[in-house]
Amino acid sequence: METLWYTALTLVLTIYIVLDGYDLGVAMLFPFVATEEERRMVRATIAPVWTGNEVWLIAGSALLFLSFPRAYAAGFSGFYLGLIILLWLLMGRGLAFELRGQVDHQLWRRFWDAIFFGAGLSLAFLLGLFVGNVIRGVPLNAEGYFFLPLWTDFRPGSNPGILDWFTLLSGWTMVALLALHGATYLAMKTRGPLQAKGRSIARWALFVAGLLLLAFFAALPFVRTTFTTNFEIHPMGYVWPVVGLTALASLWFSHARQRQVAAFASSSLLIACLLAVIAWGTYPNLFVATTEPANSLTIDNSSAGKDGLQAALWWLPLGLAVVVLYQIQIHRIFARPVTPDSQSLAEH
């Protein structure tokens, strides 16, 4: 039962990063889009969907609270500083999106464009930091709680901070991946010179993301020596890195042949496989203790009661189905690519 809820939690968080990831990637492309018309096109590609994509973050938080309340309490307490920053960045992005067109003045638009870009970049980096902290571990005490300062000595150890060399690496890896994802989405959703810019940025981002992914996986054994244990016990897990490498190759070929839908599908699959590898390697731990291994929070010692999990299982498929159907419908309605003549540009 606990494994089922762990899988559901991983799935929901993966969907969030894949969907909201292209929103963040698009925001990171703003400095590389020159004309006002192109900026309006960029914003129009995500205008109908970005708020809906954030629903998956709320769903992931609710699912963590429902299934693993001890891990929810420990995580929201220990990552309090990071989560407050995350909340402010989400609000900043929303304000930048909604207020940009309220005043017809260049300085006003540039100010909110800077906020939009900064929030997108910072959110992507922060998501990578959270991933790095979960892999590396946190200083859990015997009661199952921890507190992380922003940094200590920038080295993983028994008393780390949110920032160290490994979490910085994971943060910038996520930035590169989501920039690649956003550029690929932009190449799929636009036409003309902006589409060509999206392809060009995607090729450069693919090179950078590949190098950072290589460095990230090379660093893993030095940070979490037990990360490969589950792969050795259950070799079926190796399907995720194999599929991920296939998606990376497919992404390169799809961009080279200008098959943008296939490129976006490959980009989404690459991110999903990366998160699946991380989930497989950390299972059954939710938070690994850097102090004493016995202090780690696992799916067994932090789960809700079995009766509650079984009762909630009746509602999980229905809730996920409603959100998935909404996402499919909204993306189907706005499936057409954005061009300079699109009516939606007038709103942005």
* AA identity, residue 301: N
User: Which helix (H) or strand (E) covers residue 319, if one does?
Assistant: helix 316-333
Tell me the average pLDDT across 320-329.
88
pLDDT tier for residue 344 given thresholds of 50, 70 and 90: low
Write a three-state SS string for 108-171: HHHHHHHHHHHHHHHHHHHHHHHHHHHHHCECCCCCCCCCCCCECCCCCCCCCCCECHHHHHHH
Q: What is the mean pLDDT of the chain?
A: 91
Count of structural domains within the chain: 1
Nearest alpha-carbon partner for 286 in 276, 295, 298: 298
Q: What percent of the chain clears pLDDT 70, i.e. is strictly above it?
A: 98
Q: Say whether pLDDT at 142 is over 80.
A: yes
Radius of gyration (C-alpha) of the chain in whole angstroms: 20
Q: What is the pLDDT of residues 267-287, one digit of tens each?
A: 999 999 999 999 999 999 999
User: Which helix (H) or strand (E) covers residue 324, if one does?
Assistant: helix 316-333
- Residues 284 and 277: their CA atoms lie apart, in Å, by 13
Question: How many CA atoms are closer than 13 Å to the CA of 61, on its beta-carbon side?
Answer: 9
Q: What is the pLDDT of residues 101-115, one digit of tens each?
A: 888 888 999 999 999
Q: What is the pLDDT of residues 305-314, one digit of tens each?
A: 888 888 888 8
Q: Say whether pLDDT at 96 is over 50.
A: yes
Given this model, what pLDDT does residue 212 score? 97
- Residues 309 and 1: their CA atoms lie apart, in Å, by 8
Q: Which domain holds residue 225?
A: 2-347
Q: What percent of the chain clears pLDDT 90, i.e. is strictly above it?
A: 65
Q: What is the pLDDT of residues 161-191, one digit of tens each?
A: 889 999 999 999 999 999 999 999 999 999 8
pLDDT tier for residue 235 given thresholds of 50, 70 and 90: very high
Given this model, what pLDDT does residue 347 score? 54
Residue that is written with structure tokens 């060009």 in the block = 200
Whole-Å CA distances, 88 to 31, 101, 177, 310: 22, 21, 23, 35
Hey, what's the torsion of the CAs at 218, 222, 228, 229, to 10 degrees? 170
Backbone dihedral region of 133: left (phi > 0), alpha (psi from -120 to 50 degrees) or beta?
alpha
Q: Say whether pLDDT at 346 is over 60.
A: no
CB 97 within 8 A of CB 43: yes
